[in-house]
Amino acid sequence: MPVLAYIQMNFFGILVLFFFWQNQRKSGSLSLDDHLFNGILIVTMVEQLMDAGQWALDGASFSGVYALQMLCYSLGYAIAPVITCLWVMYCDLRVNMDERGLKRRTPLYLVPIILNTLLLVANLFTPLVFRIDAAHIYHRDHFFMVYMVLMYVYGFISLLLVLRKASQRNASMERTEFRYMALFIIPPLIAGVLQWIYYGISLIWLSMVLSIILVYVNVLSRQILTDPLTGLNNRRKLDRYLGMQINSTENNQTLFLMILDADGIKKINHNLGHAAGDRALVAIANILKKLRMSRDCFLARLGGDEFLILGHDQNETNPEIITKRIEKQISEFNATTTEPFQLSLSIGWAYFHPQNRNTVDALLNAADQSMYQAKRAKQRHSPKLYRTMKFTHVKFDRP
């Protein structure tokens, strides 16, 4: 591949990462994990700038070119493990949620970077990692493999951290997120092997940009539209999706919106603690995820103890059938659970009428009123509400 193509790819990667960095800054977040991710973006941009300089200077002949080459290569080799070190620290923080613990482990994480720095300082006097010949051509040297191992050891540590967390049962709501984080090291690892076998190609930093894009799109942006407790869509995603569905639903389609209220969550929080209340909400969310009838069925958490199901009325996805299946699943949960609480839901729904030009708020209010009718009916018929496993819903005729 021509040298100019490698330089162009590096600058394209810099532009992509700069866009992500600017977007992160606009969020105004001051959390440590955001600082670490921003650090990864900045350091990777500097690394790509050094890589572009290496390609531009290789074989050049002008005064001072050797000094510039040594600067670009030495700085590039020094920065590379910093990227993977920041990534493993980011994974550590996301997995353990312990800033003080991360600070205690930071000196240990810095050991490979210190060893790499000492190796590069020695390389300034005696070629060990790389050398530049009289024609100003770059060559790997005997200890190049040590540098590669020091850089990739962080990647394998991060991989072990997130895979271990993803395998834990209590991390089910974050399992997808951790799996995407585990993939971060895969593109650079493949690129590194190829670059080692086929000397003269440069793929590692392009693959690193690919990994950052993968994490940014599938993890960070996902957090914006996902409820952190249950893993369901949040209110922001719901408003966007519901508005789109209302605008695109035709007269011959029937759109329904179900609201499900978890009964007794406040009492569970009061008697058993908020952790138990959170487990109850997660259990309900997991039941709803299993009951998705088709890809057209949209699930969300409205906030607090309310959930939502949105879909088009079909043979297997109408509110009556969904309600019966939810009742069955929650009854089975209550009969087999070892948790100190029982689940109960009040369910109501409303239909969207395209010809009446219903608004998003009108549809939500209609479904909400239906749910509260169900809850009031349950309270009238079952005074000991939170000790039972009964269900109530209000049935509405299709439009």
pLDDT tens digits for range 58-71:
999 999 999 999 99
Mean pLDDT across the stretch 222-235? Answer: 80
pTM above 0.95, yes or no: no
| pLDDT score for 282 | 92
Architecture, CATH, for domain 3-225 = Up-down Bundle (1.20)
Sign of the CA dihedral running 195, 201, 202, 206: negative
Mean pLDDT across the stretch 50-78? Answer: 95
Q: What class, spelled out in words, does domain 235-393 have in CATH? A: alpha beta
Percent over 90 (pLDDT), the chain: 47
Reply yes or no on whether the pLDDT at 83 is more than 90.
Answer: yes
| pLDDT score for 192 | 84
Query: Which amino acid makes up residue 335?
Result: A
Report in angstroms the alpha-carbon separations of 165 from 66, 109, 180, 187, 393: 47, 19, 12, 21, 38
Q: How far, in Å, CA of 362 to CA of 166, rounded? A: 40
Residue 227 tokens, joined: 């409820």
pLDDT tens digits for range 337-350:
999 999 999 999 99
Site of tokens 């193509």 = 5
Mean pLDDT across the stretch 213-233? Answer: 78
Phi, psi of 229 (to 5 degrees): -80, -50
Mean pLDDT across the stretch 267-271? Answer: 91
Closest CA to 39 of 73, 97, 84: 84
Farthest CA pair distance, the chain: 92
Reply yes or no on whether the pLDDT at 257 is more than 60.
Answer: yes
Residue 310 tokens, joined: 């949105």
Closest CA to 216 of 14, 19, 11: 19
Say how far residue 144 (Cα) sits from the centre of its chain: 34
**Residues 264 and 386: beta-carbon distance below 8 Å:** yes
Sign of the CA dihedral running 205, 7, 17, 213: negative
Q: How far, in Å, CA of 146 to CA of 370, rounded? A: 67
Least confident of 129-143, 238-252, 263-277: 238-252
Q: How far, in Å, CA of 390 to CA of 378, rounded? A: 8
Please, what is the angle between helix 319-336 and helix 274-290, to 10°? 130
Q: What is the CA radius of gyration of the chain?
A: 28
Mean pLDDT across the stretch 323-341? Answer: 92
**Residues 288 and 297: beta-carbon distance below 8 Å:** no
Q: How far, in Å, CA of 102 to CA of 109, rounded? A: 10
| pLDDT score for 244 | 73
**Residues 302 and 234: beta-carbon distance below 8 Å:** no
Q: How far, in Å, CA of 354 to CA of 10, rounded? A: 51
Domains in the chain: boundaries: 3-225, 235-393
- Report which DSSP code applies to 62: S
Percent over 70 (pLDDT), the chain: 86
Site of tokens 């569970």 = 268
Torsion angle of alpha carbons 121, 73, 82, 8, nearest 10°?
170
